[in-house]
Structure 1
Amino acid sequence: MRIETRAGNRQRLRTAITRVQQVNRALDCSLENETEQLINDPLIRDLLDNGYVQ
């Protein structure tokens, strides 16, 4: 996720986040704290919300 964020690759970032969430739902387990923090990282949120990293 960090690599895709730095590369500005919005679609692949969305795909990676979605896939992690799908796997965890299928396994009936929650995300690790570090993964949740990464998904909510301001750089990642900025890319997803605005299409670019400031």
Structure 2
Amino acid sequence: MLEKITFNKDKSIVLATCDKNIKVFEFKQVQLRQTQILSGHKNNVEEIYSIYICKS
């Protein structure tokens, strides 16, 4: 079950927690496509954050 979601700055990448996994989706032309599953966590993933890196 999807729990938490976050987007990158331009909203082209979506990360979602799902039990012990983080699912990575690409959002392009009004379609959402799963591209990767980040697994191996010992416990359920309960929080997820996007990190924006600003270049000066």
TM-score by length of 1: 0.24
Structure with the higher helix share, 1 or 2: 1
Structure with the higher strand share, 1 or 2: 2
**Higher CA-based Rg:** 2
TM-score by length of 2: 0.24
Q: Which has the higher contact order (CA 8 A, sep 6+)?
A: 1
